[in-house]
Amino acid sequence: MNELLIHGRQLAGPALVVLDLLGTFVFALSGAAAGVKNKLDLFGLTVLAFATGNAGGITRDLLIGAVPPAAIEDWPYLAVCLAAGLAMFWWYPRIDVNRKPILLLDAAGLALFAVTGTQKALAAGLNPAMAAVMGMLSGIGGGIVRDILVNETPTVLRADLYAVAALSAGLAVVGGHALHVPPFAGMIVGAFLCLFLRLMAIFRGWHLPTARAAAGDV
């Protein structure tokens, strides 16, 4: 495997790194908020922020063999999680992670992680189907770990069009790759597709069927 390709720093330009850190910050905020709700102290809250912000990317990096993962190797990922933990600790009553602005930021983070994760998996030589799955995992992994740590069934497995929006973004990147479109174009299309699906889920209530309903139809 090509070391030059699979490490985030070589792969991602400065713009991508900034966006990646912004996504990490937003996810870390949601982790810290879950920590406050569960009455963790300042430190437990920061640990939860770091886990939520980086678990998806770390898992992806372990699976594609990019070790040590970028979030472990590069200190800015830790720094933004500390910032998110402290911000949530001081301003918690004024920050509500279930309100629309936070949901929109979260959707942006999801879109970003899904497309950069897919791109990184493709660069590591994965087949397209699994590269898109790795992109989805990058996006949803942090939320899954957050919910497991505070002892809840992961909402991302349940939330309307959450994982499916992340997968759509990954498939767009993979499709662009197959059509030899420049990577950045595929990533932009994928990110907007993911954002669109999440916005429709948030504002219009779009959702997938559940098996119980289907059983009633039959």
The contact set with a copy of itself (CB under 8 A) reads 35-36, 38-45, 47-48, 50, 58, 62-65, 67-69, 72-75, 78, 88-90, 92-93, 124, 126-127, 129-130, 133-134, 140, 144, 148-154, 156-158, 160, 163-164, 167, 207-212, 214-215, 218
Q: How many CB atoms lie within 10 A of CB 8?
A: 21
Which residue number, 96 or 152, has a Cβ lying nearer to a copy of itself? 152
**81 and 22 in contact (C-beta within 8 Å)?**
no
Which residue number, 95 or 188, has a Cβ lying nearer to a copy of itself? 95
Separation between Cα atoms, residue 160 and residue 147, nearest integer Å? 16
Separation between Cα atoms, residue 175 and residue 87, nearest integer Å? 39
Distance of closest approach, residue 182 Cβ to a copy of itself, in angstroms = 25
Distance of closest approach, residue 155 Cβ to a copy of itself, in angstroms = 10
Separation between Cα atoms, residue 135 and residue 217, nearest integer Å? 33
Which residue number, 26 or 146, has a Cβ lying nearer to a copy of itself? 146
Which residue number, 27 or 50, has a Cβ lying nearer to a copy of itself? 50
Which residue number, 68 or 182, has a Cβ lying nearer to a copy of itself? 68
Q: Is the peptide bond before 68 cis (omega within 30 degrees of 0)?
A: yes
Distance of closest approach, residue 64 Cβ to a copy of itself, in angstroms = 6
Distance of closest approach, residue 40 Cβ to a copy of itself, in angstroms = 5
Distance of closest approach, residue 181 Cβ to a copy of itself, in angstroms = 22
Least Cα distance to 107 among 34, 171, 168, 196 occurs for: 196
Which residue number, 96 or 182, has a Cβ lying nearer to a copy of itself? 96
Q: How many CA atoms lie within 13 A of 112 on its CB side?
A: 21
Distance of closest approach, residue 174 Cβ to a copy of itself, in angstroms = 12
**164 and 208 in contact (C-beta within 8 Å)?**
yes
Q: And the tokens for 182?
A: 């420049």
Q: Which residues of 117-134 are buried (b: 16+ CB within 10 A; e: fewer)?
A: bbbbbbbbebebebbbbb
